[in-house]
Structure 1
Amino acid sequence: MQTSIAIHPVLQPSGPVSAAAPQQRVERLLRLQDVRLMTGLGKSSIYAAIQAGKFPSPVNLTHHAVA
């Protein structure tokens, strides 16, 4: 079974953390389980959103791993 992940922008501090510190966006790949936990959606809903163009398509990392 292949597991999909999506690219998700994550805000991370660009230096020491303070109330006024600017943050930069970092894109990273997420596994399907991470997407499910972050969105509260099930696999079928995520795959339907991919088909509808609302979620990014899975990315092949290796022959057996999908992100």
Structure 2
Amino acid sequence: MVSDLSALMACERFLDDHCLLVEPACGAGLAAAYENAPELENFSNILVVVCGGATSTINQLRELRKANP
């Protein structure tokens, strides 16, 4: 489990890293990977399926971040 804020921050980080904008639901999986979740520590290869984003804008993500301090 990750917080809404972690998911939103992961979306922005993924945008910075890969120039791809994804939706917050996708950000949840990314947050676990970016934050080195303890549940993943026994694995050497991690796959995160990145999909979605067609309906998201960076402004929407930033507004959601403001609402989730």
Q: Which has the higher strand share?
A: 1
TM-score above 0.5:
no
TM-score by length of 1: 0.29
Q: Which has the higher helix share?
A: 2
Larger Rg: 1
TM-score by length of 2: 0.29
